Structure 1
Amino acid sequence: MKNIVVLGGGYTGLMCAVRLALRTRKLDVSITLVNPSERFIERLRMHQVAAGHELADFRIPELLGERVAFVRGWATAVDTERRAVTVNAGEGPRTLPYDRLVYALGSYTDTGVVPGADDHAYTLNDPRLARRMALRLASLAEIGGTVAVCGGGLTGIEAATEIAENHPELRVSLISAEEPGWMMGEKARAHLYAAFDRLGVTVHAGARITKVLPDGVELADGGVIPADVSLWTAGVKAHALAAESGIGVDAKGLVLVDPALRSLTHPEIYAVGDAAAIRQAWGAVHGTCQSGMPSAAHAAESIARELRGRPVKPFRFGYFHQPLSLGRDDAVIQFTRHDDTPGRFHLKGKAAVMYKEWVSGSPPKTYLKTHRYPAPVTLSRGGRATREPFMEL
């Protein structure tokens, strides 16, 4: 029997596990997924939790199906020589041997970028912290108050607009070193700014944050933006387990992989999603659910091919869209080229709301479908731009 261990029960870990269960159902394999929580965390919706909304309660064992064993615990070490993972499973340390390991631990918001962010700012890393922020915002809304969202990327924009819509009594500021929506086309960005105006979100573009204070955010020009609550969404950091275990990583801590998503230093280990330094011929893939789930499905296909003695294939991926919610009643979708630069078309308003909900709600449905057949997860393979891998297998 071959033992396959998947570390991480997020979007990518679940995708890889259920795909492996389907592709290896006629082989003598054991598949185990390790995650600290039994509940599936919809990271795409954490800004909704912070704003005060409740989410559906999806349980990982139910999404995995019968062919994947679930171990609740933290992976604390990977012994690459013995090919074993040490897991703190509550009742004590537990060792899981592996023939193939899938590293799907993802990344988290880096609060070490500026002083004070770790002490005085909320993040969307943990649903428990997001719920505490929701309670704080609810109490603050009763008396009026100020909220500073630090970071003008997609997460920051979604959080700022969600909070402003759900708590119109609060004064919400969005602070960004770049222009919010810089990754979108001009027309989509115009709709985004119209939403800011409608919801009363004050945008501070080109502002570099130097410190997060207990009651505000300090800028490089010496100014201070008042904030009763600060939310930090700027920058991400990889989990340290790979580097600590001697697995080859880049300067950001992402696992270095070949075109098939195997570790360059330990080819029996696959890395997927935003835990991996994935490249295509057109450039680097940045961590999103859009790229993560296809990478996880590809890793599962590659492992199944290896176990059958077949050659693996290079991962091919191209971006397709940038879905962005602007509260519950508005959204904008920028369709993109394969390298994630904006294309000619965008979608806005109610149609975009339905599209965004389809995107955010599709992963749990996809996992359940994959119990029976290989449900599609890749919207674009990049066309001609990805026909040649960035390096040889």
Structure 2
Amino acid sequence: MKIVVAGAGYAGTLAANRLAKKVPEAEITVINPRPDFIERVRLHQQIAGTGRVATPLAGMLREGIGTRLGAVTKVGDGSVVLDTGECTEFDHLVLAVGSTVSPLPGTVPVGTWEGAQRARARLSSIAPGSTVTVIGTGPTGIETAAEIADARPDLHIRLVGSRLAATFSDGARRRVRTGLERLKVSVLEDTVAAVSPCEKAEGADQVRLRSDPDRPLSSDLTLWAVLGTIPDLATRSGLEVDDRGRALIDPYLRSVSDPRIFVVGDCAAVPGSRAACQTAGPQGAHAADTLARLIRGREPRPYSMGYFGTGLTLGRHDGVIQLSRRDDSARRQYLAGRPAVVVKEAATLGAKYGSRTAAITWLSGAK
């Protein structure tokens, strides 16, 4: 029996390792564009030079799991086609290709490994007193701006987006703003219309805001921290998708177009889910458990998962954890300061540990 896992992020790596434990007789192959497991939630540390986020897949996958370097360009009837032109057949497929970014021209995306590497190289070369603009006021943008400000206090850091920490409670949002002010990060709650080369300064950008497009802001480095674009692999492969391009799934995380295909992580249209390693781990584990049950002739169980909060760091010594109900709606309560940093670090380490060991537990969904 051949099982192919497309994607080696949190969901795909965990699914492969869990399947290797539960279906040891299967031939499992993980296909990934790069030879490393990337801790995507730490990319802001990679950019600022405060941490490293890549671990060789050989150190993340159980013995006996095969790997192939490449990107899946199409899923066919029992086979996948790679960008190398090669074709790999499967009896079952776990589609875990995640999400990507669609940056404005002139910006450097920070939500991918390749973009983070470019941002790190650019950041290391800019002079003291330069201005760095981070576009996106969600957790990715906030963490990126804060991490750079903490590591490079000689720079001017500007954070621009429609609403700061929009999913947080009012109290938690105020605490995030206070933490950014402590780091001297200026926050503009506005929408960026365009980014273009500055005519007066070589290598600099002009950032135009929708509220005042005739008065552009000067920026020596402009980073794009808005995530959520879904690769069009499912669409190109003829799988049914939602309006965002996420594959439609049944209650067991199987594609409604082909029950041989499980879809997990950011590319799966799971009702009530959001892009997060907190989401990816349980989905990868449930897909593996369900497939193992089906192979053994047992009935599958529907997927259910509840959230507990959203965490972000504000540099190395501060952070905010917004506590939530299981349906992911924000509570009034939140943690801040050093305790929040400890909780966020524990959750980040736990996500990687769970992917490597396939040992994971999670809350059931809201009743």
Tell me if both proteins adopt one fold, taking TM over 0.5 as the criterion. yes
Aligned residue among 26, 37, 59 for 1:40: 37
Match of 1:184 in 2: 168
Q: How far apart, in 2, do the equivalents of 1:130 and 1:368 lie?
A: 23
CA separation of 1:56/1:202 partners in 2, compared to 1, >3 Å: closer, same or farther? Answer: closer
Tell me, what secondary structure is at the counterpart of 1:225? strand
1:376 and 2:366 equivalent? no
Contact kept, 8 Å, 2:16 with 2:288, in 1: the verdict is yes
Q: CA offset at residue 250 of structure 1?
A: 1.2
Q: Deviations over 1:20-73 (max 9, x none)?
A: 111112xx3111110011111110011111112241541112211113111111
1:209 and 2:204 equivalent? no
Q: How far apart, in 1, do the equivalents of 2:137 and 2:53 lie?
A: 27
1:146 and 2:141 equivalent? no
Tell me, what secondary structure is at the counterpart of 1:296? helix
Match of 2:252 in 1: 260
Contact kept, 8 Å, 1:293 with 1:377, in 2: the verdict is no
1:349 and 2:349 equivalent? no
- One-letter amino acid of the counterpart of residue 325, structure 1: T
Q: How far apart, in 1, do the equivalents of 2:277 and 2:187 lie?
A: 27
1:134 and 2:120 equivalent? yes
CA separation of 1:169/1:343 partners in 2, compared to 1, >3 Å: closer, same or farther? Answer: same
Q: How far apart, in 1, do the equivalents of 2:286 and 2:51 lie?
A: 32
Tell me, what secondary structure is at the counterpart of 2:158? strand
Match of 1:292 in 2: 280
Tell me, what secondary structure is at the counterpart of 2:13? helix
Contact kept, 8 Å, 1:216 with 1:230, in 2: the verdict is no
Match of 2:327 in 1: 339
- 1:46-85 equivalent positions in 2, closer than 5 A: 46-55=43-52, 57-80=54-77, 83-85=78-80
- One-letter amino acid of the counterpart of residue 137, structure 1: L
Q: CA offset at residue 266 of structure 1?
A: 0.9
Q: CA offset at residue 285 of structure 1?
A: 1.1
Q: CA offset at residue 344 of structure 1?
A: 3.6
Contact kept, 8 Å, 1:217 with 1:226, in 2: the verdict is yes
Q: Deviations over 1:296-330 (max 9, x none)?
A: 10000110011111111110011111011111111
Contact kept, 8 Å, 1:217 with 1:225, in 2: the verdict is yes
Match of 1:365 in 2: 353
List, as ranges, runs of 4+ consecutive aligned residues in structure 1 with deviation greater than 6 Å: none
Contact kept, 8 Å, 2:8 with 2:37, in 1: the verdict is yes
Match of 1:17 in 2: 16
Q: How far apart, in 1, do the equivalents of 2:268 and 2:114 lie?
A: 26
Tell me, what secondary structure is at the counterpart of 2:178? helix
Q: How far apart, in 2, do the equivalents of 1:182 and 1:128 lie?
A: 27
Q: Deviations over 1:155-203 (max 9, x none)?
A: 011011111111111111111112x122112222222111111111111
Q: How far apart, in 1, do the equivalents of 2:115 and 2:99 lie?
A: 16
Contact kept, 8 Å, 2:43 with 2:53, in 1: the verdict is no
Q: How far apart, in 2, do the equivalents of 1:211 and 1:323 lie?
A: 30
Higher mean displacement: 38-47 or 67-76: 67-76
Q: Deviations over 1:90-138 (max 9, x none)?
A: xx53221111111100111122xxxxx13x1011243343233223223
Query: Between Structure 1 and Structure 2, how many residues are aligned?
Result: 358
- One-letter amino acid of the counterpart of residue 212, structure 1: V
Match of 2:201 in 1: none
Instruction: With the length of structure 2 as denominator, give the TM-score of the two structures.
Output: 0.93
Match of 2:202 in 1: none
Q: CA RMSD in A?
A: 1.5
Contact kept, 8 Å, 2:278 with 2:351, in 1: the verdict is no
Instruction: With the length of structure 1 as denominator, give the TM-score of the two structures.
Output: 0.88
Q: How far apart, in 1, do the equivalents of 2:160 and 2:152 lie?
A: 18
1:316 and 2:304 equivalent? yes
Contact kept, 8 Å, 1:52 with 1:131, in 2: the verdict is no
Contact kept, 8 Å, 1:3 with 1:30, in 2: the verdict is yes
Tell me, what secondary structure is at the counterpart of 1:65? coil
- One-letter amino acid of the counterpart of residue 270, structure 1: F
CA separation of 1:152/1:108 partners in 2, compared to 1, >3 Å: closer, same or farther? Answer: same
- One-letter amino acid of the counterpart of residue 95, structure 1: C
Q: Deviations over 1:201-225 (max 9, x none)?
A: 11111x1211112212111122322
Match of 1:172 in 2: 157
Contact kept, 8 Å, 2:255 with 2:262, in 1: the verdict is yes
Aligned residue among 261, 265, 286 for 1:273: 265
Match of 1:227 in 2: 219
Q: How far apart, in 1, do the equivalents of 2:33 and 2:162 lie?
A: 34
Q: How far apart, in 2, do the equivalents of 1:149 and 1:56 lie?
A: 20
